[in-house]
Structure 1
Amino acid sequence: MSTQGRVAVVGAGAFGGWTALNLQRRGCEVVLIDAWGPGHVRASSGGATRVFRQSYENPDMVRLAGRARQLWMEEQERSRRRLFDPMGLVWLAPKRSEVEQRLLSNLTNASVPHEWLDADQLAVAYPQIRTDDLEGAILEPGAGALRAREACQVVRDALVTEGGSYQSSWVEPGTIRSGRMDDLRLADGSRVTADAFVFAVGPWQGAVLDRLLGWSLPVTRQEIFVFGTPPGDDRFGPGRLPVWAYHGARFWYGVPGDGDVGGFKVADDHRGPAFDPTTGDRTPSAQGLDDARSFLATRFPGMADAPLIAASVCQYTEAIDGRFLADRLPGLNNAWIVTGGSGHGFKHGPAVGETVASFVMGDQLPGAEPAFSTCSERRSG
């Protein structure tokens, strides 16, 4: 769509909200639609916090995250709402492996401030972390935590303030003819017409891809636990500890002071079983809690007896090689899909939205941005 027109964006998470806002700011008339609201509890963009980092093995993700950070800061200033807590990140490494070497090289090449701390330096800087079995850590001071649910709502509010519209409804693709989608069907039977359509439906991508292409991306169940910090002990709060990641046999990560929940967030990045985001049971498992407690006691001994104060289940939608899927839907010249956050997409949301808006407006072709995969890659893979 090389000219300005009406665009319907389905999904008000990080990808959809930012795509809608970018299109609105480029002169389109945008309607954003979501079944349960921006940052709702079932969404991959829900919850209190998300990690922001540029420590990536893929240099394209380092670059994309850098652009996203700039856009996050601009929106924070524009909205006068705190969206980003730049508390830093410490990447804990049992060994300085090839992964850590690539991270360090990519950060250096992208001029991202960072340093390597050996185990002794790490122990002095963060005595609340067990370090005797670590070789060291990467410290990325410009990293931190994003306020996920609040950010989705801020983006939706900005869209409406700037002339776009928002509707809450379940959506299905509507009439398709002559290589074009004419409309969307809403839950009440009404229809939304537009010149172009963007489906940013996260783990619900199967409803679009299975119907139109006969395949969809894997969706996995992930568990998150938040533990209460000891009363009067600030060692495990955001003033004393950065966001952290542990690159061991399994990859763990966490956030001190988890947004409006408070406490100490712990999550296992290991991919869980297949999961349906609509009907799946979101009761955290006893095994998941035991694993989190065991890790917490080992890595943060002062939290060994910490009480569980919150727990949740979310989901990852896996695209190729951890890249995001953004493409025109094959056979349709006015419909697009963006999905496949792959467990790390939220932080990139502003840059993803900027890129997808450029696809829709015809400024660049899908596949030109290497941080994204395409539908044809998925078919051939």
Structure 2
Amino acid sequence: MIVVGAGAFGGWSALYLLRQGYKVTLIDAWGAGNSRSSSGDETRVIRSTYGANEIYFDFNVRALTLWKENERLFNKKLFYNTGVLWFCYEGQTPLVDDSLPYATKHKMEYERLTRDDLKKRYPIIHTSDLHHAYFDSYGGYLKAREACQAVCEQFIKEGGEFIQAQVEPGGIDHQRLDRIKLSDGRSLQADIYLFACGSWLGKIFPDILQQVITCSKQEVFYFGVPAQHAAIFDSLPVWIDVDGKDFYYGIAGNAHRGFKIGVDIRGEVFDPTHGERTYTPDVLTKAREFIVHRFPLLKNAPLTESRVCPYENSPDGNFIFEVHPYASNLLLLGGGSGHGFKHGPALGEMVANTLAGIAIPPAIFRRKL
């Protein structure tokens, strides 16, 4: 079995396939957690809230269990249970409200906070334009880059083979991929190939995925908080602003890397290989205006770092797990669409169990190519 891509999808899939008894080789051009990848930043949010979509809620509940199990195995803290605070502008917020029955079902109830509750609990947050908030005490954030590296290290420790090289698919003969070609001149063969290479999927398989997997430039900014308020900011939960437009989100503590704010509205088309990882001035200006409004103490906060996170977007935001239409031994896994990282271990387990014949992927992950 060959898995191409050591990010959140590929790395976890390789590890769980190995645990399922497959002989697995994992290949990545720049290594696990590299700065070009969608998984290369410091942190990622983990939350179960998906409106009326119970599949993703359930998937994240399973992923959360697996994150906790594996971080103990890795002997490395990756999950920070800070909770997730949802800023709601209207009396009804379907993105959150429609998830409440699933939270109750899993005994993971959210706490509804009035504007006065918010003022008392989080006095550094400006709340006058909010109607209420919800606090999900079960969520938080994950170490991203470090997690990908930890998964790869554990994969090798458990007997997997890792190769750093660029991959090019070989020819397709009799409905089967015959080999892959590596940038070091070698060719490798396997019974099954899984390509889980994020934003590069559309480029590797342009005939079927160029219009299905698209890459956008998503920007993340880290601001330096005032020294006298650093401990207060670091103790804030993850927050998500449900304004219906930009959907800013943030990881305040962010492993002491600075006050992180991400822009979730889709950015410009981006080349994940050659694109410069530099910020767009207008995007920074708008993000700064927002944090000054929501967190007034950050009025003069300096920009300490910026990152570009390439989103590999599917047309409907759903993950894609499908067999190549012309090669029965070639599987495609992608479409993280900005929310895939947290689901990594659950997706990896699903892939392994599917190949073992003991699971069926959700229908929304299947797509006619």
Residues 54 and 102, structure 2, Cα contact 8 Å, conserved in 1: yes
* Change beyond 3 A, Cα 1:298–1:310: same
Of residues 25, 39, 48 in structure 2, which corresponds to 1:45? Answer: 39
Match of 2:341 in 1: 346
What are the ranges of 5 or more consecutive residues in structure 2 without an aligned counterpart? none
Please list the CA deviations of residues 20-48 of structure 1 after superposition, one character each: whole Å capped at 9, or x if unmatched.
Answer: 00000011111100000111111011110
Q: CA deviation at 1:105?
A: 3.1
Map of 2:177 onto structure 1: 181
Report what 1:274 is aligned to. Answer: 269
Q: Distance in 2 between matches of 1:355 and 1:316?
A: 22
Q: Which residue of 1 aligns with 2:30?
A: 36
Partner of 2:239 in structure 1? 244
| Deviates further, 215-224 or 73-82 | 215-224
CA contact (8 A) 1:51 1:145 kept: yes
Cα drift, residue 176 of structure 1: 1.8
CA distance in 2, matches of 1:243, 1:88: 6
After TM superposition, which residue ranges in structure 1, 4 or more long, deviate above 6 angstroms? none
For 1:202, the equivalent position in structure 2 comes to 198
Q: TM-score scaled by structure 1?
A: 0.92
Could you tell me which of 59, 76, 80 is aligned with 2:75?
A: 80
Aligned residues with identical type, % of pairs: 40
**SS, match of residue 216 in structure 2:** strand
Which stretch shows the higher mean deviation, 348-357 or 317-326?
317-326
- Residue 351 of structure 2 corresponds to 356
Counterpart of 2:5 in structure 1 is 11
Query: Aligned to 1:369, which of 352, 359, 362?
Result: 362
Letter of the structure 2 residue corresponding to residue 298 of structure 1: H
* CA contact 2:201–2:209 (8 Å) conserved in 1: no
1:151 pairs, out of 147, 153, 157, with: 147
Among candidates 321, 328, 333, match of residue 328 of structure 2: 333
Which whole-Å deviations, capped at 9, do the CAs of 1:263-309 have from their partners, x for residues lacking one?
10001100011111011122101101101110010000011110000
Partner Cα distance (1:301, 1:104) in 2: 31
The residue aligned with 1:4 is none
Counterpart for residue 186 of structure 2: 190
1:164-208, CA deviations, whole angstroms, 9 ceiling, x for partnerless residues?
A: 010101101113211111211000211121111000010001133
Letter in 1 for 2:99: L
Counterpart residue identity of residue 33, structure 1: I
Q: For residues 212 and 306 of structure 1, what CA distance do their matches in structure 2 show?
A: 46
Q: Is the 8 A contact 2:100 2:109 kept in 1?
A: no
Which consecutive residues of structure 1, in runs of 5 or more, have no partner in the other structure? Answer: 1-6
Contact 1:319/1:373 (<8 A) preserved: no
Could you tell me which amino acid in structure 1 is paired with residue 74 of structure 2? S
Q: CA deviation at 1:229?
A: 1.0
Deviations 1:242-277 (A, max 9, x none): 011000132010101223x61100011000111110
1:315 aligned residue: 310
1:236 Cα deviation after fit:
4.5
- State how far apart, in whole Å, the 2-side matches of 1:196 and 1:311 are: 39
TM-superposed CA distance for 1:85, in Å, is 0.6
Q: Is the 8 A contact 1:320 1:373 kept in 2?
A: no
Name the SS for the 2:316 alignment partner: helix
Instruction: Tell me how far apart the structure 1 counterparts of residues 142 and 343 of structure 2 sit (CA, whole Å).
Output: 11
Q: Aligned residue pairs: how many?
A: 366
SS across alignment from 1:333: coil
CA distance in 2, matches of 1:194, 1:375: 24
Distance 1:230 1:98, change over 3 A: closer
Structure 1 residue 358: Cα displacement: 2.2
Structure 1 position 216 matched with structure 2 position 212 = yes
Tell me, yes or no, if the aligned pair for 2:213 and 2:315 is still in contact at 8 Å.
Answer: no
Selected match of 1:103 from 95, 99, 102: 99
CA RMSD of aligned residues (A): 1.5
Q: Would you say the 8 A contact 1:210–1:216 is kept in 2?
A: no
- CA distance 1:314–1:211, shift in 2 (3 Å): same
Alignment correspondent of 2:113: 117
The one-letter code of the counterpart of 2:80 is: D
